[in-house]
Structure 1
Amino acid sequence: MKAAQTLVIKIGTSSLTQADSGYLALSTIAALVEMLSQLRRQGHQVILVSSGAVGIGCARLGMSERPRTIAMKQAVAAVGQGRLMRVYDDLFTSLQQPIAQVLLTRSDLVQRSRYVNAYRTFRQLLKLGVVPIVNENDTLAVDELKFGDNDTLSAMVASLVEADWLFLLTDVDRLYSADPRSNPDAKPISLIDKFDQLEALNVEVGDRGSAWGTGGMVTKIAAARIAANAGVRTVITEGRSPHNIEKILQGEALGTQFQPQPQPFNARKRWIAHGLVPAGKLYLDPGAVTAISQAGKSLLAAGIAEVEGEFQSQDAVQLCDRSGQEVARGIVNYSSSELQKIRGVHSDKIPEILGYSGAETVVHRDNLVLNT
């Protein structure tokens, strides 16, 4: 066993519940709790990101399908979250392992001060030997500030706490070139070094998980990309076999592993890349794209061809090429109305146009994160 590490484990609704009824799969949950408690005894720091609140709430209320409206989802989540935590608390308590409930919304990570506070809270809980159990605050979150799925949430938590590993436990044993449940020719994929391999391998990914869940393989790959950019090794493996986590830590080639990027973002750039919600887009000319992506330069007004959206100074924006492909994102020094006036203009002309001296750069390179 390697030295103590920080592990984030995400388990999906498809693993936590029975496919036919939506009731809890108690044997799987018990095995997961036993495995995580054992990892804690070995000295690892463990965070669990658990889906299931909406699915369990549906079962508790006798609903035959997942609700479609936001209000109903939030009400059902409120019913299911209490039940889910009760089950976890009973099982972890039987093994003398303290837990904590942490409910997050995207807004907790948008503001820098709240992002730092969330980091400190997690670090203190881990220092106390607690297993934080994380879920999105479905009862209160609105669409504009939702993570969208717990795969994304788990990757952002792994990035936030600077985890060593992210385990995405799902209903297949690894990533395949196609869905093995419907395509007998699907080929297993054990290791992804770079994400452009997925295109080379012609990987087909569904955008929908189980009837009770919100994720599919596409969200897991997106989560792996977020985690890899933060320097976190990610594994997709079977949720019904939680003991695989320990085997993988011991070096067994189970599941699909995504290599962390060799130069991960620092803390501030992780926040910019994954914590902030872009409020608009800037379309850049080819010279500006080259300058920021290859030369590592700041973005100047002269390189902006088009401004989309309404935003203020210090908001996050996407930086796109002429075709609309996002090449980076960052924090702007000007509002959208100001940029409409100075786009395509050299920096020394800005005071004359605006009537005051502003920043020389539109997005400084310290506040700019490239897509990988």
Structure 2
Amino acid sequence: MTATLDSKATRAAEAIANARRVTLKIGSSLLIGDDGARHDWLAGIGDDIAALRAAGKQVVVVSSGAVALGRAHLGLKKSNRLDYKQAAAAAGQALLMQAWERAVAPHGIPTAQLLLTIDDTEQRQRSLNARATLDVLLAQGGLPVINENDSVATDELRYGDNDRLSARVAQLVRSDVLVLLSDVDGLFTADPSRNKQATLIDYVPTITSEIEAAAGGSGTAGVGTGGMRTKLQAARIASGAGCATIISNGHGDHPLRRLAEGGPATFVAATGVPGRAYKSWIAGTLAPGGTVTIDAGAQRALAGGKSLLPGGVTAIDGEFERGTCLRVLDLEGIEVARGIAAYSAAEARLILGRGSAEIAARLGYAGPDELIHRDDLVML
């Protein structure tokens, strides 16, 4: 999918054309019809995803719909009781994945299901685990289909809606673009269902109080839980992670193709780029919980954009867990980098100075080759 149009309305098309990773969020009101999953519509989404992948892009899907499908499957009445929702989610997740597998099967795309709780993106160690899993799935050509783990999450530990979840996922995988398919063409100056004079806001450079006021409660429909306000909240999270957000109408066939052709949408700009925002977070926000000292060879490798391998580490100071931010010192004690540890301090000491081929024998399991992966390391 490519776009070369120049108007503000085509910012979304250009962002998708230039993206490396795209996170796509689809709500229940789009995916679920009167008789269950809208398979014909999903087939069109499958075609659109296949086209993005053929253009060299990696796609992650955040999909609602499990509760609605499970409720119908079990014959449960709609209820706000948590145990009813969790039972419906447990029954509906399999049906939701079947629908997605059916949608992308003609293109030979393997699907994979991830069910996340809020801890999986808010806690460093668990977020590293989730991101590592997603990186492997994407590298192997899989299509991750993500939903909140409604079967076990409590009200106190829930995202609350998949708009917020999709923003956290986009942040987790360092997406360039987050696409939120909605019930309307995007953000309007007023609720278009009540005010015929409302006009589409096609470009939002910054989410201001005026922009939030325009969101009101518009965009809420059907069996979904998210409205336009939650989409702007998601866009704010994504923007801070260097990810642009596109809010567009998901009704009708091939909504992603329409976007690529310059269809109407609201484009919320990002600040910076995903990798830079993440590394700025490492360098300036996280408090280091330990120190590693490296030899001259490892220092040259880091300067050349390589990862930090255990073989180049000469000393480890501090007690830390996997996911802790570490200071990286040269042999003179000068801090040259910071990064996120792939091992705990106890594990790191066991593989200190060792080659990657020796890690499994030293630890008793095959862990990452890197003590700090280059994606999780910033030079100072």
Structure 1: which amino acid aligns with 2:83?
A: A
**One-letter amino acid of the structure 2 residue matched with residue 48 of structure 1:** V
Show the counterpart of 1:61. Answer: 74
Offset of residue 115 of structure 1:
1.0
Which segments of structure 1 move beyond 4 Å, counting only runs of 4 or more?
A: none
Name the structure 2 match of 1:259.
269
The equivalent of 2:226 in structure 1 is 215
Please tell me whether the aligned partners of residues 50 and 135 of structure 1 are also in contact (alpha carbons under 8 angstroms).
Answer: yes
Partner of 1:101: 113
* Equivalent of residue 31 in structure 1, options 29, 41, 44: 44
Q: Structure 2 counterpart of 1:110, which letter?
A: E
Cα distance in 2, alignment partners of residues 28 and 96 from structure 1: 18
1:177 corresponds to 2:195: no
Question: What is the match of residue 143 of structure 1?
Answer: 155
Structure 2 residue aligned with 1:45? 58
Number of residue pairs the alignment of both structures matches? 267
Cα deviation, 1:25-62, whole Å, max 9, x if unaligned, reads: 22211111111122112211000100111111222234
Deviation at 1:202, TM superposition (A): 4.8
Superposed displacement of residue 84, structure 1 = 1.0
Report the Cα distance in structure 2 between the residues aligned to 1:125 and 1:224, rounded to whole angstroms.
Answer: 25
- Does 2:235 correspond to 1:224? yes
AA aligned to 2:233 is: A
Shift of 1:201: 8.5
Q: 1:200 to 1:214 in 2, by over 3 A?
A: closer
Name which of 104, 109, 126 aligns with 1:114.
126
* 5+ long unaligned stretches in structure 2: 3-16, 286-380
**Contact in 2 for aligned 1:177/1:201 (Cα 8 Å):** no
Q: What is the Cα deviation at residue 145 of structure 1? A: 1.5
Instruction: Indicate conservation of the 8 Å contact 1:56/1:80, yes or no.
Output: yes
Alignment pair present for 1:153 and 2:191: no
Distance (whole Å) between structure 1 residues aligned to residue 279 and residue 22 of structure 2: 18
Secondary structure of the corresponding residue to residue 140 of structure 1? coil
1:10 aligned to which of 25, 36, 39: 25
Give the 3-state SS of the residue equivalent to 1:172 in structure 2. Answer: coil
Q: Name the amino acid aligned to 2:225.
A: T
Shift of residue 63 of structure 1? 4.3
After superposition, the CA RMSD in angstroms is 2.4
Between the two proteins, what is the percent identity of the paired residues?
38
CA deviations on 1:202-254 (whole Å, 9 max, x unpaired) are 5142178224111111110100110011111100001124634245346x262
Partner of 1:333: none
> 2:120 touches 2:130 (CA, 8 Å); kept in 1?
yes
1:245 alignment partner, one of 253, 256, 266? 256
* CA distance in 2 between partners of 1:140 and 1:156 (Å): 19
In structure 2, how many angstroms separate the alpha carbons of the residues matched to 1:77 and 1:200?
34
1:64 CA drift (Å): 5.1
- Are 1:109 and 1:115, in contact at CA under 8 Å, matched by a contact in 2? yes
- The answer to whether the 8 A contact 1:104-1:136 is kept is yes
Please state how far the C-alpha of 1:87 moved relative to its aligned partner: 1.4
In the alignment, is the contact (CA less than 8 A) between 1:165 and 1:232 conserved in 2? Answer: yes
Tell me, in whole angstroms, the C-alpha distance in 2 between the residues paired with 1:125 and 1:268.
Answer: 26
CA contact (8 A) 1:22 1:56 kept: no
Segments of structure 1 that go 5 or more residues without pairing to the other structure are 274-372
Distance 1:213 1:63 in 2: 17
For the Cα contact (< 8 Å) 1:22–1:212, is it kept in 2?
Answer: no
Residue type of the alignment partner of 1:42: A
**Could you tell me how far apart the structure 2 residues matched to 1:176 and 1:242 are?**
22
Tell me the alpha carbon deviations over residues 255-300 of structure 1, each in whole angstroms, 9 at most, x when there is no partner: 1000001476325839x99xxxxxxxxxxxxxxxxxxxxxxxxxxx
CA distance in 1, matches of 2:280, 2:154: 25
Partner of 1:89: 101
CA contact 1:101–1:133 (8 Å) conserved in 2: yes
Counterpart contact for 1:4–1:42, Cα < 8 Å: no
